Chain A
Amino acid sequence: MRASRWLIPWIVPVALLLAWEALTASGLVPARKLPAPHAVMLAFWSLLQSGELIQDALVSTGRAATGFAIGATLGFAFGLAAGISRLAENLVDGSLQMLRMVPHLALIPLVIVWFGIGEGAKIFLVAVGVFFPIYYNTYHGIRTIDAGLLEMARIQGLRGPALFAHVIFPGALPSILVGVRYALGIMWLTLIVAETIAGNSGIGFMTMNAREFMQTDVVLLGILVYAGLGKLIDSLARLTERKALAWHPSFSRA
């Protein structure tokens, strides 16, 4: 029974791979449009050996991390301010809710004018994309903390940093982590678009460059690398959730 539980999720992907291999081998689908899985594997191997793949993956990850760090820090700071202070809420929330409705990728033409097509443009776009879900979920998480708990904490004499550490931050954390996972998805999406439009390094550049030379196997590989990196980071985020929210009924294994 345990073995079958491990096996079942693999049946569909393996079957798809086999069908794909069969379709390309039979010539029904031209290899120029859709290369066979083994061709993608070969491309993976040769790019790995040349060091190109690692290099581009590191560049992309570095951009993603930098943009995320900037956007998440600012989003958290603004969310915290709006969550704990009515004045800050009145000051910024209305404007931010309006800006949130603008698809941040619509800024691309403007960003190219501001930053050119260098690193700044990509990091800026990622940071803007990440900012809003972190801001909103931090703000919302703080505002939905049980008022009774805050009252109790004040009676127990908690103020300022102690109130933040014991009640406000842990109380808002489930919502903040939802924001983090959402922001991680936006982070990759933004990066792919930004790297595809302009640049001379990164996974997005690697795929666009490959398209120029009709290396569809490399294009496909690039897509798979994005999927793999995305899945890896999401798994890390889920692990963090399970560790940090062990008290929460939804995350307990008891």
Chain B
Amino acid sequence: MASLVQPRLGGIHRQVSKVFFSEEKKQKTFAPGGVEIAVQGVSKSFDHRQILTNINLTIQPGQFIAIVGRSGSGKSTLLRILAGLETPDSGHIHRGTATQSDIRIMFQDGRLLPWRRVIDNVTLGLPIADHPRARAALDSVGLADRARDWPRILSGGQRQRVALARALAANPRIILLDEPLGALDALTRLEMQALIEALWQRARFTAILVTHDVAEAAILADRILLIEDGEIGMDLAVDLPRPRRTGAELAHIEEVALGRLLRQ
């Protein structure tokens, strides 16, 4: 098993260090910086069923937020409202100076266009002048050599990396991640977590991750929000050095969050 694990993790570590070492060089092409998001009194119901009740929340620019909760707790609805895909029944979202084009989403199912090659998926919606940035984004997720492939022949993890590159290519100030790693195997998930963290540290967009995986939330987030019955049940700051892999403090955070989830 160990001999199998090492090369794969080795691969992504090379990738991550590549991201770090090229940081200064790429500083100009990436990094318009994150934006503050303020959620004021947001409520939403579907078919007379209350999904979110009076959510109030302020997210600092460039912060990495994880939203955890059980299925049907309303966490995905909150994400879709933050993205502007749903309008709340009441309340407001303030995104500072960010416009709709400063927001990108990465979905669990990737949502690549099967009829466009990898690079054309990454440039989707970008003006031609920005296409070099799409190639740089594809390079930053380690898939520059797959640019001319059809998405169909990529693995699940590679497809999610393309989706990540597509989200990054627009230089967004907010990236919303809707269970982006939920369908991946455990090893690929660890690789992707490291990659997402590295790219976020470089570009400093405001990141909001919806996940059912408390460990993933603890590894990636500055702050974990737990949604229960449509309300914020817990707001937990995670002030630990990065990158986080193991350790008593990390385990403690996980335990607190998981304990709270299970108590419901």
Contact = CB atoms under 8 A, between A and B. Distances in A.
Interface stretch (B28-36, B112-120, B195-203): B112-120
A149 B105 CA distance: 12
Given A157-B125, A248-B114, A148 B152 contact: no
Given A153-B124, A156-B125, A171 B83 contact: no
Given A166-B124, A170-B113, A249-B152, A157 B101 contact: yes
Contact of B125 (A146, A149, A153): A153
B153 A254 contact: yes
Contacts of A158: 124-125
B109 A148 contact: yes
Given A149-B111, A166-B116, A170-B115, A247 B125 contact: no
Contacts of A162: 125
A171 B116 CA distance: 10
Most buried by A among B85, B115, B152, B170: B115
B103 interface: yes
Interface string B37-53: 00000000000000000
Which one of A152, A166, A167, A173 has the highest number of Cβ atoms from chain B below 10 Å of its Cβ? Answer: A152
A148 B111 contact: yes
A173 B166 CA distance: 24
Interface residues of B, number: 21
Interface size band for A = 20 to 34
Interface in A82-121: none
B153 A152 contact: no
B20 interface: no
Interface in A158-173: 158, 162, 166-167, 170-171, 173
Nearest to A169: B115
Interface string B101-136: 101110101010111100000001100000000000
A151 B101 CA distance: 14
A108 to B, nearest CB: 41
B130 to A, nearest CB: 11
Nearest to A167: B113
Nearest to B100: A157
Interface in B70-96: 83, 85
A173 to B, nearest CB: 8
A155 interface: yes
A152 B115 contact: no
Nearest to A163: B125
User: Which interface residue of B100, B124, B166 has the most chain A CB atoms within 10 A?
Assistant: B124
A157 B124 CA distance: 9
A249 B105 CA distance: 27
Contacts of A171: 115
Interface string B142-165: 000000001011000000000000
Contacts of B85: 151, 155
Contacts of B103: 155
Nearest to A171: B115
The interface centre, meaning the residue of A146, A148, A155, A158 with most chain B CB atoms within 10 A of its CB, is: A155
Contact of A149 (B101, B113, B152): B113
A153 B105 CA distance: 11
B105 A152 contact: yes
Interface string A174-193: 00000000000000000000
A218 B79 CA distance: 72
Interface in A127-161: 146, 148-149, 151-153, 155-158
B152 A152 contact: no
B111 A247 contact: no
A68 to B, nearest CB: 25
Given A149-B113, A254-B153, 12 more contacts: A149-B111, A152-B111, A155-B83, A155-B103, A155-B105, A156-B125, A156-B170, A157-B101, A157-B125, A157-B170, A158-B125, A162-B125
Going nearest first, the 5 A-B pairs with the smallest beta carbon separation are A156-B125, A152-B111, A170-B115, A157-B125, A247-B115
Interface of B: 83, 85, 100-101, 103-105, 107, 109, 111, 113-116, 124-125, 150, 152-153, 166, 170
